[in-house]
Amino acid sequence: MERDGLLDDPRVQSLILELQDWPGPHLNSHKSPNQFFHKLAFLADLGLRCDDPGLSPVIDRILANTDEQGVPCLPIFISAAHGGKAEPQNGWALCDAPTILHTLKKLGVEDPIVDKATGYLASCIQENGFGCVVSKELGNWRGPGKKSDPCPYATLTMLKLLVLSGSRYSMEIDRCAQCLLDLWEHSRDTHPYIFYMGTDFRKLKLPFIWYDLLHVVEVLSFVASIRTDSRLQEMFALIKSKETDGGYIPESVYQPYKDWDFGQKKAPSAWMTERIHQMEHRLSTV
């Protein structure tokens, strides 16, 4: 999608207006496309910048609500049945904080607090990727699974953040990439934190919100050292096999984006096709 005219698009204007109420409703589902941090990430993917009209107040609110490590916080609701206090707590998890920090970096925000927070989150890595890590305000809560297991989604979002931060995190980047590749290789029998790479995972879907094929390949394609890895090439071959004469047709959609060309399943999506072509170009560059 061309940046020219983007700010005049009523759909973009509507999203920016909605985000003025940041942080929005309390968070009780990280995969919901209605979460404000996902909507801001989408605007960054479209090419918006921090100095575009309407974004400065949103960014200011994000930077004004961080913990002592600089990590952005959100009102997070965890029910008593899941070990929470059954009321919104101001905190963060690796299901949200890396996405917010990545979005700030992509928007062009230059603030020491962003780098400080990135460094702190990077320090939470395990030998096999990133586990289910949350701020102290959320207590001992974590997702369903062994504490020693890597969380596929946390590992994906942390990798996405770290590849924007350069070679200083080369060790962490390598661990994350290998974790995701190993999960693909053993997708039939390895499902940490109940994240599967089955039928739903393999459907083409935008925007990049949850743990799915396009999102994983998009992020891995930025890691130059693994572009020729047979597992990554196998994942992209699956995407490529879905190409039609007119490009790529979405196979699953998020209803809040039904007015976008990737919000339907009947015709090729220009934006999806463009993103896949970008992946293909990166994967051919070693």
Per-residue pLDDT reduced to its tens digit, 154-190 = 999 999 999 998 889 999 999 999 999 999 999 999 9
Full-model pTM: 0.94
pLDDT at 7: 92
Is a pLDDT exceeding 60 seen at residue 83? no
Whether a cis peptide bond, with omega within 30° of 0, leads into 207 is yes
Residue among 77, 66, 84, 87 nearest 30 (CA)? 77
Within-domain flag for 221:
yes
Within-domain flag for 4:
no
**By residue range, what is the domain housing residue 275?**
198-286
Within-domain flag for 50:
no
Local confidence band at 5 (pLDDT 50, 70, 90 cut-offs):
confident
- Split into its structural domains, the chain has a count of 1
Q: Is residue 130 within 8 Å of 176, Cβ to Cβ?
A: yes
Across the range 135-155, mean pLDDT stands at 83
Within-domain flag for 276:
yes
Within-domain flag for 124:
no
Across the range 88-115, mean pLDDT stands at 95
Within-domain flag for 28:
no
pLDDT at 80: 59
Average pLDDT, the chain: 92
Within-domain flag for 117:
no
Q: Is residue 73 within 8 Å of 92, Cβ to Cβ?
A: yes
Within-domain flag for 275:
yes
Is a pLDDT exceeding 60 seen at residue 110? yes
pLDDT in tens, 246-276: 899 999 999 999 999 999 999 999 999 999 9
